[in-house]
Amino acid sequence: MTHTLHRYGTAESLENDYVIFAIAAQTVNAKGKAPVFGEFFNIVEKYNYVFCGDMKTGNKYTVGLESIREGFRDNSIVHAVFTEKEEVAKVLKELAEADLGLSIVVSGILDHVDECCRKAGIKRHTVEYSLGIHGKTEKLPQEDELLAINTMCGHGMIAFNLIRHMVDKIKAGKKTPEQAAKELASQCHCGVVNPTRAAELLKELVK
């Protein structure tokens, strides 16, 4: 149902992980919205985001910012990842003032996002909860950090084995955690992985 829900992790780790994205309703207000996504992007770019991408084009690492800017369409879904809730509050305030008409969704610690909304002078409309992972959970890896990195890409484009492969590369001194995190994040077409958080999680896995 959603590509930014179910981000697994400890409270301490999730405190540094927020995604803001914009989308138009295809059956209601999408027509002609392509340039409005540009206005959204201009706003988020003023703040300290760590990764971004458009579902229709690709992410900052694989296609670059120019391609993202030039590729907005009426059915784009444009994302930016932040590590500080204070930045999220500022972005929301400016988005509310800009009144773009796009639906804006924030993924992150729900109480923090509610606090950001209050600071921005807006009221939450709809909330979506993750009720966890169930079923045959013995099929999942045992390392929590591995699951935390994998679940940042809700489309499942970062294989558990690729994360293990990167851990081996770091241990062998062939990559830094930051380089490995960037390579993992580039797998996420939408640009919703948090590479800063991923690097910290990789450091834990290397230990």
Partner 1 sequence: MIIDQEKCIGCKLCQPYCPMGAIEYLEEEKKCRINLDECVECGICLRPDPCKKGALYQQELDELRLLRQVFSNPLVPHKTTSVPGRGTEEMKTNDVTGRFKRGHAGVACELGRPGTGTRFKDVEKVAMAVAKVGVTFEPHNPVTALMVDNTTGKLKDEILNEKVLSAIVEFDVEIGKLSEALTAIKNVAPELDTVFSLDLACRCEPDNSVPAEEIARSVGFRPSINGKTNVGLGRPLAEEE
Positions in 153-192 near partner 1 (CB under 8 A): 154-162, 164-165, 186-187, 189-190
CA 162 to chain centroid: 19
C-beta closer to partner 1: residue 120 or 199: 120
Element (H, E) at 146: helix 144-150
**Of positions 16, 17, 43, 51, contacts partner 1 by CB under 8 A:** 17
Structure-token pair, residue 185:
């994040």
C-beta closer to partner 1: residue 25 or 65: 25
Integer CA distances (angstroms), 159 to 120, 163, 166, in order: 37, 7, 11
Taking residues 77 to 116 in sequence order and writing x for each that binds partner 1 by CB under 8 A, - otherwise, the string is x--------------x--xx--xxxxxxxxxxxxx-xx--
We find the least distance from the C-beta atom of residue 27 to partner 1, in angstroms, to be 7
Structure-token pair, residue 30:
């999408």
Element (H, E) at 90: helix 85-98
- Alpha-carbon gap, residue 191 to 195, rounded angstroms: 10
We find the least distance from the C-beta atom of residue 65 to partner 1, in angstroms, to be 20
- Alpha-carbon gap, residue 7 to 193, rounded angstroms: 10
Q: Which amino acid is at 92?
A: L
Structure-token pair, residue 82:
């932040």
We find the least distance from the C-beta atom of residue 59 to partner 1, in angstroms, to be 11
Positions in 18-57 near partner 1 (CB under 8 A): 21, 23-30, 55-56
C-beta closer to partner 1: residue 52 or 77: 77
Q: Which amino acid is at 173?
A: G
We find the least distance from the C-beta atom of residue 8 to partner 1, in angstroms, to be 8
Taking residues 118 to 157 in sequence order and writing x for each that binds partner 1 by CB under 8 A, - otherwise, the string is --x-xxxxxxxxxxxxxxxx-xx------x--xx--xxxx
C-beta closer to partner 1: residue 129 or 207: 129
Q: Which residues contact 194 (CB under 8 A, 6 or more apart)?
A: 16, 17, 19, 50, 51, 81, 83, 152, 185
Q: Which of 2, 1, 3 is nearest to 157 (CA)?
A: 3
C-beta closer to partner 1: residue 140 or 206: 140
C-beta closer to partner 1: residue 96 or 206: 96
We find the least distance from the C-beta atom of residue 184 to partner 1, in angstroms, to be 11
8 A C-beta contact, residue 72 and residue 78: yes
We find the least distance from the C-beta atom of residue 80 to partner 1, in angstroms, to be 14
